[in-house]
Amino acid sequence: MRDPYVRYRELRAAGPIFRTRGGLLVVTTYELCAAVLRDPGFGHGTSPPAQEEAGQPGRSFLLMDPPDHTRLRALVSRAFTPRMVARLRPRIEAITADLIGRLPEEAELISGFAYPLPVMVISEMLGVPPEDHDRFRGWSEALARGLDPMLTDALMSETERSRNEFRDYFRRLIARRREHPGEDLLSALAHVEELTEAELLATCVLLLVAGHETTVNLIANGVLNLLRHGLLHRAAERPREVVEEVLRFDPPVQLTSRIALEDRELGGTPVPAGTGVLVPIGA
């Protein structure tokens, strides 16, 4: 999207809340977006399958409501500890420095840095052997393209093929890590006994797709905006604040949605249970 903010201004002018022809409610103010996202009366309205069915992994906990979301997040947090993150920091810094060191004076930021960085970090985080990193990157690219709302039949087919290959690969890798654990995140996750294989596979897909796409776009949007406003030097001076401001000003995740789990009210507008609500957080 070259400039979604022009469209957002048009949406806000149409009112703080309006209904599309398809019956979807759209909220456009900060207050209403925050109200939807913080109200437990709005959720995803989905329950994960108790067991893996037909070779398909369970639903990502990103798309679950409590108590399922609460349970899975707590289980994953057992492996994703502050100690684990601290152990990753030096390696992440080394990968970053290496990628930057390879860039020519005039470089293509996305292909040369923003795209490979999260793939390399996530593959090492999950304990993917170095000889498999190229395969892992190919799956990552295909799964990330699957997030595009304008998917063609060919892209959908490629995405599904890559997803199946990714799952088959990680089934084998999980089995190896259970027998021969390492210092990686996947070894830690594989030994959380309450996590089913279906839930573990869904978490691996989530780490790859959500962690990769958002990081690429955060770096791209951030550098572009700093260049446009002549503020690139601030990234070195106040890096944490710059990252937080980019996430606020031009976020990699532009919109999300919720379903009313029970009858609610938004800005004086009744919202019957089952109504879908679009939350354009970028607006």
Q: What is the DSSP string of 23-51?
A: S-EEE-SHHHHHHHHH-TTEE------SS
Q: Is residue 154 part of a domain?
A: yes
* Contact by Cβ (8 Å): 145, 155: yes
Q: Is residue 95 part of a domain?
A: yes
**What pLDDT, on the 0 to 100 scale, is given for residue 61?**
72
* Contact by Cβ (8 Å): 79, 189: yes
Q: Which domain holds residue 184?
A: 63-228
Q: Is residue 273 part of a domain?
A: no
**What pLDDT, on the 0 to 100 scale, is given for residue 46?**
63
Look up the pTM and report it. 0.81
pLDDT in tens, 132-190: 878 877 887 777 776 665 567 888 888 888 888 988 998 999 999 999 998 888 898 88
Structure tokens at 146: 């699957």
**What pLDDT, on the 0 to 100 scale, is given for residue 62?**
75
What are the backbone angles phi and psi of residue 279, rounded to the nearest 5°? -120, 95
Number of domains in the chain: 1
Q: Is residue 110 part of a domain?
A: yes
Domain at 150, CATH number? 1.10.630.10
**What pLDDT, on the 0 to 100 scale, is given for residue 51?**
44
Q: Is residue 196 part of a domain?
A: yes
Please state, in angstroms and rounded to a whole number, the distance separating the CA atoms of residues 261 and 275. Answer: 8
Q: Where are the beta strands (DSSP E) in 147-245?
A: none
**What pLDDT, on the 0 to 100 scale, is given for residue 197?**
86
> Could you tell me the sign of the dihedral formed by the alpha carbons of 233, 238, 241, 243, in that order?
positive
**What pLDDT, on the 0 to 100 scale, is given for residue 52?**
45
3-state secondary structure of 190: helix
Residue 20, classified by CB atoms within 10 Å of its CB into exposed (0-12), middle (13-18) or buried (19+), is: exposed
Q: Is residue 14 part of a domain?
A: no
Counting as low any pLDDT under 70, the low residues of the chain are 1, 46-59, 146-151
**What pLDDT, on the 0 to 100 scale, is given for residue 149?**
58
Q: Is residue 257 part of a domain?
A: no
Which is nearest to 163 in space by CA: 204, 113, 126, 102? 204
What single string gives the DSSP state of each residue in 131-145?
Answer: GGHHHHHHHHHHHHH
Kindly report each contact of residues 224-231 with a partner whose C-beta sits within 8 Å and lies 24 or more positions away, as own/partner.
225/249, 225/250
**What pLDDT, on the 0 to 100 scale, is given for residue 30?**
92
